[in-house]
Structure 1
Amino acid sequence: MAAVHPTAELGFGKGTNELYNKARGEYQPQVLSHLRKAVKSSDPLNIVEIGCGTGLFTRALLAHEEWKNNIQSYRAIDPSEGMRETFAKYTTDDRVVLTAGTFADTGVESGLADLVVIAQALHWCLDHESAAAEFARILKPGGVLAIVWVQEGRDKAPWLEQFRMRVERDEGDAPHTRSGLWRQLYKTPAYTQAFTPPEETVLPYIVPNTQAGVIERGLSSSRVAVLGDEQKQEFVRDAEAILKRGEGRVWIEEEKGIFEHPHRAEIIVSWRSDSPSQRSAADTLGFRPKNVTQDMIDTISNMFPDIPPDNIRYDLLRTGSVELSSNKILERGFLESPPPAYFTLYPRDANAEQAARPAQARGGATSTAVKAPKQTLIDRYNLKDRVAADEPSTLGPEDLTTGKAPWEDSAEKREASLKERKAQMILAARHSQSAARRMLAQQQKAS
């Protein structure tokens, strides 16, 4: 199989990409912000962009406030000499290394990347299995694979649907985004074994444009760029007629010929599995589980002893937050029971259940041992006096949600600060629980 589709090789060949670089729209800041949230690491990042083209996405990311000061290296890869030529002309940054390569052969070292991103290019992938294996090879455990599309909002205006149909009329066998064939990537064994299920976000937006700008965008399409001069002239005449009718067009400044050009950005992210067990958990549960400790389960269990521990763990796997799960209980009075698949990961301890039953039920002798009462968090942190005094917590809702605290200048002060913060969280949870109980009692009395 050829490494590059013939239409891309011809349409994006040497000397053909100035119009592409001029006509294609910029990537919106909210798209780049969404990607930054997906990459959890705060260390200087190593980024690999495959199918970098003329550098439109690269330059937008390098200039973005949330990215520009946190990039260690940026590998930009494209098979087209013409694309790379234009990229090098307009992209000047010492962190960027531009090389030839394909989806299945990037030439990047194994385990280098915190982020592998493909913007407006995956439809040119000819071998999804090999590509998925390459993405997995070069990503660090926990690294992000991001597929970004910028599509025209053809469903928002009749003129735009007519224009896009005219662009696609001569496409032949050239791959295009709308076919959805690129989604085969997510069904390959190499992907399912190495990545979490994809998470998709759509961000609609409007950009101003003119008739000339829209036509230039059409001419920059690979399927139009390969046409002869007469066919291109025919395309321009047809496009001008569509825009002259302007069905559903919304003007911004009609006297200047500027109108709304609807767009939508689609961002699909998935994470390189940290381990086979994490991948298995995501497959089984249908979502990427958060880290849950026994102390988190015990914290909620001590506050709400009537809630089954499995229900607590299952909700924590989703939220990753004692506060969020506790608030659910306070608002709803319960946590949902986990599905049967959960118990394949966290089987019930049959021995513990058996030991908890009375000895008489098993036909044995009656035990004289008395089980020690379970220590509560109030006891563990010596908070009885503060509870008796009905001392309120000094933490607000934002403090409980973000977990932010000032950084003390010594280990002793940090330990004391952490201990006090835990105490404040316990007091806050107890206060909220007491308030909820009082409200419920009042409602029952009123009814």
Structure 2
Amino acid sequence: MASTTANEPAHTTFAKENFSKSGPSPSLSPFSRLYDRARPSYPPSAISHILSTLPFPSSPSNRATIVELGSGTGLFTRALLSHPDTRGKVKKIVCVEPSEGMREGFEKATLGGAFGWAGQGEGVEEGGVEVECVEGTFEDVPVGDGSEDMVVCAQAFHWTGSNPLPAVRSIARILRPSAPWALIWNLEDRSVPWIAQLRDAYEQFEAGTPQYRLGLWKTMWDQEAYWDVFGEMEKTEFTWMKEVTEQGAVDRVFSKSYITALSDDERAKLETKLREIIQRGDGKKWIDEKAGTFEYDYTTDLFIARRK
């Protein structure tokens, strides 16, 4: 079970428990490996933009240390590690994740992969990138004050809900002066009719969870406490698509925490509706109709600010 802490917001406990269900271990739940299998990665152009905010190091020894908050199973981490510019700029990535199931998924899918980096406690050859995954939250990050060259939150910061300032203060605490803070989200593209219909079918089950599209996290910009430590956030949008099958599109929906929380009967009814929408396919663009693959369109929103 996911651990809880005193005074933890209800939506934080909800996320930890239900994302653990979609983690990798059959011993944790029947939703084995669902999140890691179904969720999309991130466009290389967005990774390039993030890395461009780091200065190029004068030597391998002074490459950057990055903290990734809410790292999940490592989807963003792997996209970062796969990018050709990362080894030249990044020495270490500290991935912080509150969910036990997600951390287990990270260990298997990311640290157990073949990208040529070392895990916690292992030596790193010159030019390599060290990666570790540790337990923590936005508000409780186990690194020192002013010690980090960048903080990234991928598909995660909306879980701060309408009270993001404790997380803002925590992120400000660990960043060096002038260091960047990046927020990035993938969002299914509503301009495509069948995707809009899909979202209408599943978003009704959000049950008050603080989803990115609701923008509750943006209340930080109304607070002087944000502007005391950070400057203006620059937004960049990227459009792209992922090749999927019908099952892949259904799995994408079922990887959401609030869908994981539904009863078996509710999920069965929802699945029937999702498949009807996908099969009708209003505006669907086939990649290979014989193989059953088609385009799943996304927009990726990237926000970047700097520590004052």
* TM-score (norm. length: structure 1): 0.59
Deviation at 1:97, TM superposition (A): 1.9
Q: Which residue of 2 aligns with 1:130?
A: 166
> Which residue number in structure 2 is paired with residue 2 of structure 1?
8
Identify the residue that residue 269 of structure 2 maps to in structure 1.
234
Once the two structures are TM-superposed, the CA of residue 227 in structure 1 deviates from its matched residue by: 1.0
Aligned length, in residue pairs: 272
Q: State the 1:129 CA deviation.
A: 1.3
Q: Is the 8 A contact 1:211 1:257 kept in 2?
A: yes
Matches within 5 A, 1:367-446: none
Partner of 1:214: 249
| Residue 19 (1) aligns with residue 34 (2) | yes
- Partner Cα separation in structure 1 for residue 70 and residue 254 of structure 2: 20
The AA in structure 2 aligned to 1:71 is V
CA contact (8 A) 2:286 2:293 kept: yes
- The one-character-per-residue Cα deviations of 1:318-377 (angstroms, maximum 9, x if unpaired) are xxxxxxxxxxxxxxxxxxxxxxxxxxxxxxxxxxxxxxxxxxxxxxxxxxxxxxxxxxxx
Amino acid of the residue matched to residue 31 of structure 1? Answer: A
Residue 264 of structure 2 is aligned to residue 245 of structure 1:
no
Could you tell me how far 1:212 is from its partner in structure 2? 0.8
Residue identity in the other structure for 1:146? A
Contact 2:56 2:89 (8 Å CA) reproduced: no
- Return 5+ residue gaps in structure 2 as ranges: 1-6, 22-27, 112-116, 119-129
Q: 1:17, 1:82 within 8 Å by CA — same for their partners in 2? A: no
Does residue 32 of the first structure (1) align with residue 16 of the second (2)? Answer: no
Conserved in 2, the CA contact under 8 Å of 1:53 and 1:87? yes
Structure exhibiting the larger radius of gyration computed from Cα positions? 1
Tell me if the contact between 1:129 and 1:189 (Cα under 8 Å) persists in the aligned partners.
Answer: no
Shift of 1:226: 0.8
Q: In structure 1, give the amino acid aligned to 2:252.
A: R
Please state how far the C-alpha of 1:17 moved relative to its aligned partner. Answer: 5.7
Aligned counterparts of 1:185 and 1:102: Cα–Cα separation in 2: 18
Equivalent-residue separation in structure 1 for 2:147 and 2:297 (angstroms): 37
Contact 1:198 1:269 in 2 (8 A): yes
Secondary structure, in 3 states, of the residue corresponding to 1:227? coil
Aligned equivalents of 2:32 and 2:139: distance in 1? 24
Displacement of 1:70 in angstroms is: 2.7
Unaligned regions of 5+ residues in structure 1, if any? Answer: 274-447
Q: Identity of paired residues, percent? A: 35
Distance 1:8 1:255 in 2: 38
1:265 and 1:38 map into 2 onto residues whose CA distance is 18
SS in structure 2 at match of 1:60: helix
Higher relative contact order (CA 8 A, sep 6+): 2
- Aligned partners of 1:28 and 1:132: how far apart in 2? 26
- Mapped partners of 1:18, 1:170: distance in 2: 22
Deviation at 1:186, TM superposition (A): 2.8
Q: 1: CA distance between counterparts of 2:77 and 2:63?
A: 17
- Quote the Cα distance in structure 2 between the aligned partners of 1:236 and 1:102: 32
Residue of structure 2 equivalent to 1:389 = none
The answer to which structure has the higher helix fraction is: 1
Structure 1 letter corresponding to 2:247: A
Secondary structure in 2 aligned to 1:256? Answer: coil
Q: Which has the higher strand share?
A: 2
On the 8 A contact 1:201/1:266 being kept in 2, the answer is yes
Deviation at 1:11, TM superposition (A): 1.1
Matches within 5 A, 1:38-77: 38-42=53-57, 43-77=62-96
